Structure 1
Amino acid sequence: MIRTAGPRTTVLLTTGLATAVGALVLAGCQSQSAINREPHQGSSTAAAGANGEQDVLITTDSSYRFSPSTITVHPGTVRLTLRHTGGGAPHDWSLSGFPDDHVPLTQAGQTRSLTFTAPAPGSYQFVCTIHVKQGQTGTLVVLPN
């Protein structure tokens, strides 16, 4: 039984409304699929390979992530190997802005490679072109000489 609708009642109603709105906003933030919320992990620096090439191994699977998701190279020739260790959908690897630097679709259990010349020093995004919306991206860092 409410006898009066004084300031305390108003505060309680306002607080209740704010809580309900906050819960709706948070629910909206969680509408992203679980795949998109998987963390990006790992970093690697290219290893010196034969003939002065730098060797990089990136794996992918059904988590829609690259591992490592950050690779560091020096200027020069890079041999990048994409290994699909999971099942399900194929994946590719493409250096954004450099259409020739692309590993074609790699099926589950397959390994494919690409040799390219590292671009100018800086940071560049790489992606799986068919799973960008799922967050399958990473960063190529090219160090200065």
Structure 2
Amino acid sequence: MSAAPPGTRPGRHPSASRRARLGALVLLLAVLSGCTNREPTLPEPTRATAADVGTVTTDDAGVQEVILETGDDYVFTPATFTVAPGTVRVTVRNTAEQMTHNFEFSEGQGPAPIAERIPVLGPGQSETIEFTVTAPGDYQFECTFHLRLGQVGTMTVTG
């Protein structure tokens, strides 16, 4: 049996050890390059909001309607709106050119659960959901894709 070259273990080729060290170094640099103690820079809202966005109206059947907008940023416009107990119809318009969003009420963040949601809303798309609320209070809604970036809002149901 021959002796292993200095700095290597028996049975291992010296270049395999160097490749392993180089791979570990590359991985470490990749991980560290994404680390920073600075807050991420969020884009400014990139849309001109239409006049009908954010105003709660009531149709002839008593359904309260509101239009929310989101774009190539992490914002719902408006971020808050107020309704009375009853049937609510929410339309979300994605005016983005690039970003995909969704809309759902945050689990456990309101007086009562609201199951209706918009799972995916691509750029230029619009979708409407309808539900009934009876319990007064604040109901948080979110884009689950961008929750960590602060894309949340609140629907308040008056007492």
| Same fold? TM cut 0.5 | yes
1:115 aligns with 2:115: no
Larger Rg: 2
AA aligned opposite 1:142: V
Partner of 2:28 in structure 1? none
- Aligned residue in 1 for 2:142: 127
2:136 maps to a residue whose letter is P
TM-score (norm 2): 0.64
Which of 46, 50, 57 is residue 47 of structure 1 equivalent to? Answer: 57
Superposition deviation, residue 104 in structure 1: 2.3
Of Structure 1 and Structure 2, the greater strand share is in 1
Deviation at 1:121, TM superposition (A): 0.4
Shift of 1:37: 8.9
4+ runs deviating over 4 angstroms = none
Aligned length: 113
Q: Could you tell me which amino acid in structure 1 is paired with residue 128 of structure 2?
A: S
Identity of aligned residues (%): 36
Q: 1:119 to 1:90 in 2, by over 3 A?
A: farther
After superposition, the Cα gap between the structure-2 partners of 1:119 and 1:35, relative to the gap in structure 1 and judged at 3 Å, is farther
- The CA distance in 1 between the partners of 2:152 and 2:44, in whole Å, is 13
In the alignment, is the contact (CA less than 8 A) between 2:94 and 2:126 conserved in 1?
A: yes
1:89 is displaced (CA, Å) by: 2.1
After TM superposition, list the pairs within 5 Å mapping 1:1-145 onto structure 2: 28=37, 31-35=38-42, 44=54, 46-97=56-107, 98=113, 100-144=115-159
Structure 1 unaligned spans of 5+ = 1-26
> In the superposition, relative to structure 1, how do residues 77 and 99 fare at CA in structure 2: closer, same or farther (>3 Å)?
closer
The amino acid that maps onto 1:46 is V
Cα deviation code 1:107-144 (max 9, x no counterpart): 11111000011251011210001110111000110001
Q: Give the structure-1-normalised TM-score.
A: 0.70
C-alpha deviations, 1:76-122, integer Å up to 9, x for none? 00000000011212111111123512122111111100001125101
Structure 2 gaps of 5+ residues are 1-35, 46-52, 108-112
